[in-house]
Amino acid sequence: MGKPRIEEWTQLRSLAFLAIVMQHSIAEYIYRADIEPADSTMLTMMYHMTRFGTPTFVFLSAVLMFYNYDGKLNYFAFIRKRLETVFVPFLFWTIVYWLYVRAFTPSFWQKGGQDWGSLLRELVQPQTGYQLWFILMIIQFYICFPLLAALYRGAKNKINLLDEGRRTGSVLAVLAFAGACYIILLYLSYYRMGYWAGRIGSPWAALVTHRSYSFLMYGFYFLLGAACAANIGNWRAWCTKLLPWCGMVFLGMYIRLGYDVLRGSGETVNLNISTYLKPSTFIIIMAQMLFLYGLLLLLRERNQAFLRLLSWIGTYSFGGYLAHALVIYVIAYFTRPLNLAGSHLPFALLTFALTVLASLGISYALSRMPGARWIVGAGRRKPLRGNKVNDYRGDSRTVFGAGNR
């Protein structure tokens, strides 16, 4: 019958999707030459409200995998399903973005469309479909998942032999140690690895330069997902107890991160100062992600209409994620020729709203078509039933997302 569906995961996925669309909507306007300082500052402040997006998708991808595959695993069946519902849609949308961008490039047609080398590069390092880098990263996790799942089962079995107090202490100790190691890794990534790339030879220099594509650089979020999947009850209790503390940490780091970006930027804001692979950004992401998780738990019995809306958005968020950059491209085709001085903030918000509506609409429509799994990863789903947010059947689909790194 499958495991019970944990509805807050779908709702958290929807919040992460909205955050990612907001990031890319902001990025469309914040670097324009005619932007005024007030708009630039406001967009920067909004941007730092969305940093949890992609790491939350990493966390949710891991938690669903460990939750649904905690028994014996048929590796070939597992990989085949991932190829069908993840890699094939990646190929499809890579070609869509490649063709869309080149359709408005006269030199491409003058050459008879013989630009296949750039298409091959898109399959390794996505640029036109800039959000698709996430799939290349998460596929690495799928390839290694059978080994990780075996380690997960072994650790879970050993920890379950302990009494409740020692069990909780052991998990917290492992997470604390792993978190400290991860902060060291991020410190080296942000402050040292750029220097290393200039001094070491190939192929190591290329690996260091493109380290944001490696799933190892997001390893702590995978471990966090495993901890959540192992004991949902304890995880919910922790998030609820930590809710006020996470809120305060987020507020402090929000101010700190915004100050760092504004201080470190020149005439144009440099959002890369708050990249995911930076220790201070990691702290704000963790605080906000745990805060939102706890907040969703508190809302379970208070605002069912809002939670149902989040669940619907989360259901179609993968297709929306695949399509949203294309929607932004279409909107930009009309907005880039305009002089928007003094209006970049409202146009960014308008772009966000239109992109959410259009991309989810595309995802919904495609999911109801034959062969939808090859395009958006899943076909038409039966409507959810039940009165409680956690009484649905298991949903084995994996969660995805993308964003600025």
Contact predicate 254/49, CB 8 Å: yes
Q: Return d(Cα 11, Cα 395) in angstroms, integer.
A: 13
CA distances to 140, 241, 314 from 144, in Å: 6, 34, 26
Identify residue 178 by its one-letter amino acid code: A
Q: Return d(Cα 22, Cα 353) in angstroms, integer.
A: 9
3-class SS of residue 5:
strand
Neighbours of 70 (CB within 10 A): 16
Query: What are the pLDDT tens digits along the chain (405 aa)?
Result: 467 889 999 999 999 999 999 999 999 999 998 999 999 999 999 999 999 999 999 999 999 999 988 877 888 999 999 889 999 999 999 999 998 887 766 555 555 555 678 888 899 999 999 999 999 999 999 999 999 999 999 999 899 888 888 888 899 999 999 999 999 999 999 998 878 777 776 677 888 888 899 999 999 999 999 999 999 999 999 999 999 999 999 999 999 999 999 898 887 889 989 899 999 999 999 999 999 999 999 998 787 889 999 999 999 999 999 999 999 999 999 999 999 999 999 999 999 999 999 999 999 999 999 889 999 987 555 544 444 444 333 333 444 444 445
3-class SS of residue 210:
coil
Rounded to the nearest 10 degrees, the angle between the axes of helix 7-30 and helix 37-47 is: 160
Identify residue 347 by its one-letter amino acid code: F
What 8-state DSSP symbol labels residue 86?
Answer: I
Rounded to the nearest 10 degrees, the angle between the axes of helix 344-367 and helix 7-30 is: 140
Q: Tally the residues of the chain.
A: 405
pTM exceeding the 0.75 threshold for the entire prediction? yes
Q: Return d(Cα 330, Cα 165) in angstroms, integer.
A: 55
Q: Return d(Cα 79, Cα 83) in angstroms, integer.
A: 6
